[in-house]
Structure 1
C-alpha cells in the first residue's frame, strides 16, 4: 500500500477545525504538543487521498501564519491499512465522485505538490543543465554515428530534458502559466544547445548520412507517432508514481534527444533536407508527448484550476498533432523530403 506521513503544525485554538478535516481524509493520526502554543498532528494518509487533504488544509488554513504541513513517504505500515470498496473514504457531498478510470489511475499517484517539488529543481537554466544537455546530445550523436544503440540509450539515461518536458505537460494540465513559461523556456534553451552540439559534431566528424541509427531519425512514420504517444503516457505514469528518473528519462529522451542531435549533425555535415526531416520528427514527437502527457495527467485525476483553460490547451496541442499527421501523410504520398531527394543531393555534390 502506498501511503504518506503528513505532519501538520497548527495553533491549538484551531484544532477542532483540523480534526474535522482529518476525519474525512486520514486513516490514523496522533497528536502531540510542541512549543509555541502549537499542536503537531502526524497522520497516515493513503497516497490517493493526499491530494484532497492538502487542498482542504490550504483552503481552510492558508491565512494562518503558524500553519505548516510536511509530506513524507512511508515504506510500510503495521497493522496494514486495507483498501477495499467498503473501507474507501467518502468525498464531500458537493464534489462529484471519481470515475472508475480516475480511481484506478490515481491509486498510487503523487500529489500535485509532490510533483511540483520533483520538477522544480530541473526547471532552472544552470551550468549543470547546459552541460548535461550538451553531453547527452554528443553521446547520442556519436552513438548514432557509429551505429551503437547502447550508446544512444546511455545518452537517454542522462535525461536532461525530462524536467522541462514534464513541466510543460503538468503546467498545461493544472493551468499554471508561470510554470508553463519557465518550463518552456528551459526546454527551448536545452533544445538549442542539443542542436548546436550536434552541429559542432557534424562539422568535425565525417558523417555517413545513410547510417541506420542516423537515417531512422529522419523518417516519420505512423509507428513513430505511436511510439511518441506511448513514451509520453508511460513517462507521465512513471513520473507521477515516483519511479526512477533514469527510467522516465529513457521514455522521454527516446523521442526528443536523438532527433535533436540528428538535426545538428545533418546541418553541420551539409545535408539540409535530412536536417529538416529530423526537425520534423522532433516536432511530431514533442507534440505527441504533450498530448499523451496531458491526457494521462487528467486520467489520473490531476485537478485543473480551470477546465476551460486546460481543455483549450489540450485542443491546441491536438490540432497541432492533426496538422503534423496531415503533413506526414503528404510527405509520404508526395515524397517530399524523401531520401531520394537526399541521395540526389549527395550525388550532385560528389
Structure 2
C-alpha cells in the first residue's frame, strides 16, 4: 500500500491533544513544527490504508473550526524506511484490523468524483469511443472494438453512482446521473446517425452476439462492477479496469443505435436489453463491493441516510435485474 502525508495547521494548545489521539494509531511518523502566531504544523506519515481512521479522528475534533483544513499528499517513498511509531497493546485491535486494505474514504471520494465530472473532454471521449466502436461493429473487427473500449469514459460515472448510493450522497448522485445520462445519450444519437448512413448487416457476428443476453454476459458485467470498485478502493490505476466496464456497456449500446438507425427495431431491443442488464449488474456489483470494503460515512446521521439509500438502491437494482431476466426469458419462449 502507498504512503500518505497528512498535514494540518492547528493552535499550539491542540498539539498535545493530537499526540494523545494518535497514540493508538500505527502511524509511521508524527511531527509538529512550531509556526508564528501560536500555531503548529502537524505532519503525519502513514500507510494509505490507515489514513481513514486518522482523518476521522482529526475531522471530528478540528475541521469544524474556521480556517482548519486537513491536506492529504501522496508519498512515493521515504529514506530511511520507517517502522510504525506505535504498536497496539496485546488484545487491543490494531489499525490493520480496524481498516480493510484500501485507501481512505475521502481520498476515494475525490478520485471517483473527479472521474465522474461532466466536461467537454468527457463528451468528446464518449463520442470518439462511440464512433470507433460503431466502425468496429460494422467491420466485425474485435481489435477496433477493443480500441474503442480503451478511450470509453464509462467507469467513472458508474462507480460514482455506486459510491453515492453507499454514502447516501445526493450531490454526487445527481452529478453521476447527469454524467452517465449525457454519455449514454451521446452514444445513442451518434450510433443512430451512423446506422442511418451505413448499410448495417444485422447478421454480422459482432452485432449478432450483442442482440441478446446470455449467462456469460451477466457474469462479465458483475465481475466488471466488482473490479471497478476494487480498482478505486485500492488506489491502483483504473485504466485497464475501465476497459472491462466499457466492454460490458458500450458495444451493446452502440449496437442498439446502429440497429435502430438501420431499420431493425426488434433486434435493437435485444441489444438495449443487454445494455440495461449489464448496467444494472455493474452498479449492483459496485455497491456490494463498496459495502464489503467497509466504505461508510463518517457521522452517524450520514450513516443512517446511507443505510436507507443503500437498501433502496440494492432493492431497485435486484428488482430491475429480476424483471429484465424474466422479460428476456419470456420473449425467448414467445
Q: TM-score, normalised by structure 1?
A: 0.85
Match of 2:31 in 1: 30
Aligned with 2:210: secondary structure?
helix
Other-structure match for 2:49: 48
Aligned position for 1:11? 11
Which residue of structure 2 lines up, in the alignment, with residue 235 of structure 1? 228
Alignment partner, residue 300 of structure 2: none
Alignment partners' CA distance in 2, 1:86 and 1:13? 26
Distance 1:219 1:310 in 2: 30
CA distance in 2, matches of 1:123, 1:89: 42
**CA distance in 1 between partners of 2:234 and 2:90 (Å):** 20
**Conservation of the 8 A alpha-carbon contact between 2:112 and 2:160:** yes
Tell me the residue number matched to 2:261: 268
CA distance in 1, matches of 2:255, 2:201: 12
| Aligned-partner Cα distance in 1 for 2:184–2:13 | 52
In structure 2, stretches of 5+ residues that fail to align are: 298-302
SS at match of 1:179: helix
Q: In the aligned structure 2, how far is the partner of 1:159 from the partner of 1:197? A: 14
Structure 2 residue aligned with 1:70: 71
- Deviations 1:119-139, CA, capped at 9 Å, x for gaps: 223433322221111111111
Matched, 1:285 2:285: no
- Report how many aligned residue pairs link the two structures: 323
Written as runs of structure 1 = structure 2, the 5 A alignment for 1:175-194 is 175-194=168-187
Cα distance in 1 between the residues matched to 2:16 and 2:128 = 55
1:91-102 equivalences under 5 Å are: 98=98
Is 1:10–1:68's contact at 8 Å kept on the other side of the alignment?
A: no
Q: What value does the CA root-mean-square deviation take over the aligned residues?
A: 2.4
Kept after mapping to 1: 8 A contact 2:63/2:69: no
Cα deviation for residue 152 of structure 1 reads 1.0
8 Å Cα contact 2:224/2:248 also seen in 1: yes
The answer as to whether partners of 2:225 and 2:286 remain within 8 angstroms in 1 is: yes
Q: Distance in 2 between matches of 1:183 and 1:269?
A: 31
- Aligned residues of 2:24 and 2:88 also touching (Cα < 8 A): no
The aligned counterpart of 2:329 is 329
Q: Secondary structure at the match of 1:256?
A: helix
Aligned match of 1:198 in 191, 211, 222? 191
Quick check: 1:194–1:260 contact (8 Å CA) kept in 2? yes
1-structure distance, mates of 2:158, 2:189: 19
Cα contact 1:24–1:90 (8 A) shared by 2:
no
Contact 1:9 1:40 in 2 (8 A): yes
Distance 1:218 1:87, change over 3 A: farther
Gaps of 5+ in 1: 337-350
TM-score, structure 2 as length reference: 0.89
Q: How does 1:164-183 map to 2 (within 5 A)?
A: 164-183=157-176
Q: 1 CA distance for matches of 2:44 and 2:141?
A: 50
- Aligned twin of 1:79: 81
Q: Secondary structure at the match of 2:209?
A: helix
> Secondary structure of 2:7's partner?
strand
1:243-280 deviations in Å (ceiling 9; x for gaps): 22321210211111111111110111100011111111
Aligned to 1:9, the other structure's residue is in SS state strand
Instruction: Work out whether residues 284 and 321 of structure 1, in 8 Å CA contact, stay in contact via their aligned partners in 2.
Output: yes
1:33, 1:205 → 2: CA distance? 70
Q: For residue 234 of structure 2, give the secondary structure of its aligned residue in structure 1.
A: coil
Q: After TM superposition, list the pairs within 5 Å mapping 1:200-239 onto structure 2.
A: 200-239=193-232
